[in-house]
Structure 1
Amino acid sequence: MQQIKLIIWDMDNTFWSGILAEGDIKLNDANVQLIKDLTDRGIVNSICSKNTFDDVKTKLTEAQIWDYFVFPVIDYEPKGFSVKNIIDNCQLRPENVLFIDDDERNLQEVAYHNKGINVSLPYIIEDLLKMPECEGEDKKHSRLDKYKILEKKNERKRVFNSNIEFLMDSNIEVAIKNDCMSELDRIHELIIRTNQLNYTKKRISKEALRNILNDSEYTNKYVHVKDKYGDYGIVGFCSVFHGELVHFLFSCRTIGMGIEQYVYSEMGFPKLVVKGEVVNNVNGEDKPSWINAGFNENGEKTTDTRTHGNFVIRGGCDLEQMLPYLNIDDKCITTEFNFRNFHRDHTFITCGCLRYSEEIKKQLLNDVGFLNEDCFDTSVFKHEKQIVILSLLMDYAQKVYHVKEHPEIKLAFGAFPEDLDYLSYGWREEQNDFYINHLVPEGRIKAEDLYNNLQFIRDNIDKDNLLILINGCEVPSVNPKEVGREMVHKEYNKIVDQFVNENSCNTKLLDMRTIVQSTNDLNDNIRHYKRHVYYKMAKELLLLIDDDEISVRTGVSRAVIDVKHMLAKKANSIKRELMKK
């Protein structure tokens, strides 16, 4: 046996006792310490286990050793090729690798596909630190750090290639135009409303914008985008003054397309001072190869516009990225997205549109700094034929408040558990006072309140109108501020599952658990996704609608709505009474 540089571990009945998928396991403290001792000797550790990735990660994170492993392969694929991939990623020879597994068949398979590798049953574990092949010293963990960097590079490369294939196939075309005055209203709307891809965040009046467009010292351009799925319209604006970008902003619907980097390169990489946070940073070197310059102004969409009636979509503005892939006439879609940081898609806000009197809503809009003027405006409850689509992600994320004098009045804002830096929002002094003295924080929404809010919404939408709920994914977040957030999503997803099951006659679920498969599908946080995810969301949404329309045409679903609805409500009422007892 040659010097061991990498040990690849099986988990079940090897690193720990028991099988994780069948219940609880017993983690040996000696093995936990062994991983640390091996790392101190410069020996790197990896995992090849037939298990669920998140479950293994959770156990090892609880033991505080997850970060000691590199290139873990945790799935149900054959181990021979999985181990080969680990070795290739680590850029090592099989002769310097030890694979430990309790199953002889796995050992034989790995040995067959990795000539020269060292394999062993778990009995070797207690002797590892005594073996001369495992000697060495690396107290600073420089070798582990080296492989962690290599791991990140490989991950970025893999994600990049995966997303690029989708973008290449999208046939994205960008036209950068000069006649900004003819699009004054649309450009001003972008300046006021954009946030996640607004790099300068200078909110100016329409008159101030007009002055800039008429000033010869400014170079002004707007951006028009199309791809094979449709025409996005005017989605960006940039203004350069003496070599520096004073305005550089793009619509949410272009997130993940690389439009901002392409335009920045076309502008010659002028000086840019980024204000606040943005979803995607730009650099002074790259030019996306998947974007084509210009297009025929008279060009037609390459896909047919579908007809499904009217839609109301209430949720985060990231859902704008889904709209082009629906191929539905814009006139048929009413969007109720957030205005910058002012979300209105929490169920307490949506319910408040009906629950609160006009007098109360008017008073709240005056007193509460985090409510935008359109907060309580909604088409969700219109008594007309339409499909209602609600994203529930703000219920999963935001902090709930109630008015001290009226506990039944509840609102939501910010993020839980973070404390709100209300002074940074520029509220009026009386609004700051109201926040401090009259709003009581409750934390995240209670499970029972979420269910009741959904039932209130469902009861107040015409029973013949389809309600589609969008839940949250359950993969670990890429954002360090959201460690463990996937567990919160799992908790609330159970409530949503129960609600959809009990109202299945006219309520469906756009299940993000089946679409977002790994952190590779996430953008900057657990609620924002890569471009291809919104494409998949749109296609799944159309399938849900098609299935419902087939049911309606055949008379299967709507004929039994009244009976099912009545029985479901009665069953829910009985459950709650039993819980109270």
Structure 2
Amino acid sequence: MVNNHETIALEVRKLINSNVEIIYDEPLVYYGLNSLKLMQLIYRLENLFHFSFTDEELSGHNFSTVSSINETINKKKHDIIIDSSNNSLNQKEVIDNDKTLKRCVLRGGCDLRATHAFLSEAGLSITSELTYVSDDSVIIRNDHIEILNGAVSLSNDEKLMLIKHLPFYDEKIFSTVIFDNQDVVVLSLLRSYYAGLYRHKVNPYIVVPFGSYNTPFQDIENWDAWFNGNERTPATRTHIPLDKLNWFKENFEFIGAMSESIMKESLQVFREKIPGNTKLILVNGSETDVENGLIPERSKHYQFLNRAVQEIVNTLPNTFVVNINQYIQNREDLMDNIGHYKRHHYKSIARDIARFVHSNLHVNERDSNASYL
């Protein structure tokens, strides 16, 4: 088994911007790696070693030293080799005489990060544009439909204004190759379902997603939980300058959750912005909620949006929906919340993506139900 500890130590040094020698068994907290920087390190290592951890796998490990990370990665590589038939798709199952790798962009969060691991044999050349940790240790959630539409519709000055002032944007948030001539774009809709929407008070066509739709940013009582580490979501465990928080509060107004009408309009605009020959595959949200979930009745909200998505998709060219509710049907199919699924369901998502990619369905041949597996 190849020893990875030198590669891991090098990535640690890059992350802390130091040439200091990393001691193999010394706790990484001594080097300034808090939970967010450690998450950023894991993301880098996933890319280097060409696999992804699921949330379930990450929660079961203590990545406290280079030694512990090295041991976990070696085991992961070993498991992939031993169980490769179960950890990838059967290429013959989903590809019918199609030998050409199709260019595919994945844009999403933890759902597509976990799904990516199962797409290695799907006949795809994949570009991952998944959520990531910024240099300021903030998770950048770049997968909302409004961010993607803004990548094209906003002026450079408007983008720079948002990047400068918003604590949850960075210089890469609008970066994407989706609008190039791709064969396939896979977009998770979870963030679009979950986030609250905020409209600029002066330029109302500038819409920014943030947080969750049930906790308006204008309520200052929420700030400590979001930005100083009291919320369970690790994405916000960092210190944000107060002037940035005040700028967002003063310049934007809360307009609520994603509505069915806004979802339909946003998807239609997005479809018009990408080339007509690009297949657009949308992954929808679960309608099975977790008992005592963070947001009461979130499953009902997702149900309404799923219906709206399907209605608009039935009118759009070359656009398909992976309906996860065909296999996520009860509490046992979920992990800790409505957006985290048991591992084997990510394989099902990957299989459905691959089938859409290699199907011969086109808009003129598709009936009203063909897009909804």
TM above 0.5: yes
Contact 1:478 1:526 in 2 (8 A): no
**Structure-1 residue corresponding to 2:345:** 533
Give the Cα separation in 2 of the matches to 1:260 and 1:417: 26
**Structure-1 residue corresponding to 2:192:** 395
Q: Find the residue that maps to 1:333 and give its secondary structure.
A: strand
1:380 aligns with 2:178: yes
Give the Cα separation in 2 of the matches to 1:325 and 1:353: 29
Give the Cα separation in 2 of the matches to 1:295 and 1:396: 37
Return the match for 2:315 from 495, 502, 510.
502
**Structure-2 residue corresponding to 1:205:** 16
CA-CA distance at 1:474 after TM superposition = 0.6
Contact 1:400 1:445 in 2 (8 A): yes
Return the match for 1:370 from 132, 153, 168.
168
CA-CA distance at 1:360 after TM superposition = 0.9
Give the Cα separation in 2 of the matches to 1:297 and 1:492: 36
Question: Structure with the greater relative contact order (CA < 8 A, sep ≥ 6): 1 or 2?
Answer: 2
When Rg is computed on C-alpha atoms for both structures, the one with the higher figure is 1
Give the Cα separation in 2 of the matches to 1:294 and 1:469: 30
Which structure 2 residues correspond to residues 160-239 of structure 1 after superposition, within 5 A?
A: 177=3, 180-184=5-9, 186-187=11-12, 205-207=16-18, 210-211=19-20, 213=22, 215=23, 219=25, 239=28
1:482 aligns with 2:295: yes
Give the Cα separation in 2 of the matches to 1:500 and 1:386: 18
Give the Cα separation in 2 of the matches to 1:527 and 1:350: 21
Give the Cα separation in 1 of the matches to 2:80 and 2:309: 45
CA-CA distance at 1:483 after TM superposition = 2.4
**Structure-2 residue corresponding to 1:434:** 247
Number of matched residues? 322
CA-CA distance at 1:444 after TM superposition = 0.7
Return the match for 2:114 from 310, 321, 339.
321
**Structure-1 residue corresponding to 2:326:** 514
Mark the runs of 5 or more structure 2 residues left unpaired by the alignment: 47-51, 134-138, 228-237, 368-373
Give the letter aligned to residue 206 of structure 1: N
Give the Cα separation in 2 of the matches to 1:299 and 1:502: 45
CA-CA distance at 1:529 after TM superposition = 1.1
Q: Find the residue that maps to 2:117 and give its secondary structure.
A: helix
Q: What do the CA deviations read for 1:330-356 (whole angstroms, capped 9, x no partner)?
A: 982111222243211111111100110
User: Residues 402 and 299 from structure 1, CA distance in 2 versus in 1: closer, same or farther, beyond 3 angstroms?
Assistant: same
- If the length of structure 2 is used for normalisation, what is the TM-score? 0.74
Give the Cα separation in 1 of the matches to 2:64 and 2:168: 37
1:405 aligns with 2:202: yes
**Structure-1 residue corresponding to 2:286:** 473
CA-CA distance at 1:300 after TM superposition = 11
User: Residues 298 and 409 from structure 1, CA distance in 2 versus in 1: closer, same or farther, beyond 3 angstroms?
Assistant: closer
Q: Percent identity?
A: 22
**Structure-1 residue corresponding to 2:234:** none
Contact 1:176 1:294 in 2 (8 A): no
CA-CA distance at 1:240 after TM superposition = 7.8
Give the Cα separation in 1 of the matches to 2:118 and 2:343: 11
User: Residues 483 and 265 from structure 1, CA distance in 2 versus in 1: closer, same or farther, beyond 3 angstroms?
Assistant: same
Give the letter aligned to residue 54 of structure 2: I
1:344 aligns with 2:176: no
Contact 1:478 1:522 in 2 (8 A): no
Give the letter aligned to residue 490 of structure 1: Q
**Structure-2 residue corresponding to 1:452:** 265
Contact 2:214 2:295 in 1 (8 A): no
Give the letter aligned to residue 188 of structure 2: S
- If the length of structure 1 is used for normalisation, what is the TM-score? 0.49
1:358 aligns with 2:169: no
User: Residues 410 and 507 from structure 1, CA distance in 2 versus in 1: closer, same or farther, beyond 3 angstroms?
Assistant: same
Which structure 2 residues correspond to residues 90-169 of structure 1 after superposition, within 5 A?
A: none
1:255 aligns with 2:58: no
User: Residues 418 and 176 from structure 1, CA distance in 2 versus in 1: closer, same or farther, beyond 3 angstroms?
Assistant: farther
Give the letter aligned to residue 219 of structure 1: D
Contact 1:482 1:525 in 2 (8 A): no
Give the letter aligned to residue 194 of structure 2: A
Give the Cα separation in 2 of the matches to 1:373 and 1:298: 38
CA-CA distance at 1:400 after TM superposition = 0.4
Contact 2:194 2:212 in 1 (8 A): yes
Give the Cα separation in 2 of the matches to 1:212 and 1:326: 37
Give the Cα separation in 2 of the matches to 1:414 and 1:542: 31
CA-CA distance at 1:480 after TM superposition = 2.8
Contact 2:109 2:131 in 1 (8 A): yes
Mark the runs of 5 or more structure 1 residues left unpaired by the alignment: 1-174, 190-203, 221-237, 270-287, 552-556, 565-581
Q: Find the residue that maps to 1:441 and give its secondary structure.
A: strand
Give the letter aligned to residue 322 of structure 1: T
CA-CA distance at 1:318 after TM superposition = 3.5
CA-CA distance at 1:535 after TM superposition = 1.1
User: Residues 300 and 526 from structure 1, CA distance in 2 versus in 1: closer, same or farther, beyond 3 angstroms?
Assistant: closer
1:414 aligns with 2:226: no
